[in-house]
Amino acid sequence: MVLFLLLVALLSPTGEAGKIIGGHEAKPHSRPYMAFLQIKISGKSYRCGGFLVREDFVLTAAHCLGSSISITLGAHNIVDRERTQQVIQVRRAIPHPHYNDKTLSNDIMLLQLTRKAEMSDAVSPINLPRSLEKVKPGMMCSVAGWGQLGVNMPSADKLQEVNLEVQSEEKCIARFKNYIPITQICAGDSTKRKNSFSGDSGGPLVCNGVAQGIVSYGKDDGTTPDVYTRISSFLSWIQRTMRQY
């Protein structure tokens, strides 16, 4: 619990860290884009999720920034040395220039790897949305990660996944004072105990095989809906930044 509170305090100044509850273990390597992030902050180690978008770039949440970040690709069980795993250090962390660590607006960050990942059945990038692509209420999407399995519960060793329904913007506007519909997505049915949780931050919200959102923040009691960064609103920044480096 102490680690969880530290994670909330350090990775989410609002006290509402992006956080899988009510899901199940994913089929090993069925999500070859998933990245496990080990983050160092003031000598302590924390975890986030992320996802491969190019052989040399991972996309994640800006609140997952630390003094150093190590990325594991091709993992299912992060405590095993699986032959599919590739551990790569981050050369350059590039949070969005307008990221606000108080409101968690523009909570998106690109991580340039020190070397290109080797593509395989267990490691490959996921598609990003087209600029005009809309995520509408009622759509079924999914999120995955190695975060906590519930309030006061340990983090997962094996990749977990859960299906979530996109909600109306009004539900998150009423629930979170800093919610911004144009750059954020509201997801998770409040009548179902299914959710992402602490340690899942930075992972992708996947809809029809496309990464549409990034786990950003929610309530610390594990209730839904939660807030996801809307990737389609940041496509020009993503493309421009990857071209620059």
- Mark whether 56 is an active-site residue: no
E strands, 42-191, in order: 44-54, 57-60, 68-73, 86-95, 109-113, 140-145, 160-165, 184-187
- Mark whether 107 is an active-site residue: yes
pLDDT of residue 226: 95
pLDDT of residue 203: 97
DSSP 8-state code for residue 20: -
The token pair at 54 is 């190019």
Active-site residue (options: 201, 216, 232, 233): 201
Strand 140-145, strand 109-113: pairing: unpaired
pLDDT of residue 20: 64
What number of helices (H) and strands (E) belong to the chain?
3, 13
Active-site residue (options: 56, 107, 200, 226): 107
Residue appearing with tokens 């109306």: 168
DSSP 8-state code for residue 121: S
pTM above 0.95, yes or no: no
**Coil/strand/helix, residue 50:** strand
- Mark whether 63 is an active-site residue: yes
- pLDDT tens track of the chain, all 245 residues? 323 333 333 344 333 444 467 789 999 999 999 999 999 988 889 999 999 999 999 999 999 999 999 999 999 999 999 999 999 999 999 999 999 999 999 999 999 999 999 999 999 999 999 887 889 999 999 999 998 776 777 778 999 999 999 999 999 999 999 999 999 999 998 888 777 777 799 999 999 999 999 999 998 887 899 999 999 999 999 999 999 99
Active-site residue (options: 29, 63, 76, 96): 63
Name which of 110, 141, 108 is nearest 229 in CA terms.
108
Cβ contacts of 235 within 8 Å, gap of 6 or more:
128, 129, 131
pLDDT of residue 11: 46
Residue appearing with tokens 């998933």: 34
Biggest CA–CA distance in the chain, Å, is 46
Query: Distance between CA atoms of 138 and 45, rounded to whole angstroms?
Result: 37
The token pair at 64 is 């997952």
Domains of the chain (ranges; CATH) run 32-125+234-244 (2.40.10.10)
Query: Distance between CA atoms of 132 and 109, rounded to whole angstroms?
Result: 21
Name which of 51, 61, 52, 67 is nearest 17 in CA terms.
61
pLDDT of residue 156: 83
- Residue 104 phi/psi, 5-degree rounding, is 65, 25
Q: Taking the CA of residue 153 as centre, how many other CA atoms within 13 Å lie in the half-sphere pointing to its CB?
A: 18
